[in-house]
Chain A
């Protein structure tokens, strides 16, 4: 079993829809949770970073962490065609240097 599970998609939504992206994890020592966006053949771009449980909002993006369920989510409001990309969740423990990634969910926002 992988430490971080993420549905690879693809997920196709119409422009303007609310998108929900999710990851589950098995390591209860994870404390830091991140979402990256990766366009085709580019490096990942950090979107959101959350420590421990709770919500964080930044513009059209909201990140949620539920440590009791080992479940994290990224919501995108008013989705745009430019949001079409692969979304990677990543997490780390308090002591480790490395980020552990999910496989990524490919999102396509259609006109």
Chain B
């Protein structure tokens, strides 16, 4: 049984560019959440998707947007990248419940 998968593993972008990160949830999970983890910090909630709708959003600017597809996979888009957007981006899936299972993350570096 495959767990949560994310792509790409690493990404290097320059300031002002746009990036798209992808996530496939664990089999049987219909809810996907995205988190940003800066070095030495705990993950910070960006938003959660369920039934292709954004269900809750954290304290992140509109430059961060997302989408969920009918097969429950999800994308995170970040526009107008800033140096401070450099972080590990984590996707978590859950079976419409409390427990959230994380993928390996995408490490984004903004130069």
A interface residues with partner B (beta carbon < 8 Å): 4, 6, 8, 32, 34, 36, 41-46, 49, 51, 88, 90, 92, 96-104
State whether the Cβ of B95 lies closer than 8 Å to any Cβ in chain A.
Answer: no
For A96, the closest partner residue in chain B by CB is B56
Task: Assess whether B105 is in contact with A97, with CB atoms less than 8 Å apart.
Answer: no
Inter-chain contact A97/B55, CB cutoff 8 Å:
yes
> In whole angstroms, how far apart are the Cα atoms of A8 and B48 in the complex?
27
A74 shortest CB reach to chain B, Å: 15
Q: Are B107 and A99 in contact (CB under 8 A)?
A: no
Q: How many B residues face the partner with a CB closer than 8 A?
A: 27
Residues of A within 8 A of B90 (CB): 43-44
The distance in angstroms between the C-alpha atoms of A96 and B45, with both chains bound, is: 11
Q: Across the interface, do A8 and B40 meet the contact criterion of CB distance under 8 Å?
A: yes
Asked, given contacts A96-B56, A98-B58, whether A46 binds B42 with beta carbons under 8 Å apart, the answer is no
CB–CB B41/A103 < 8 A: yes
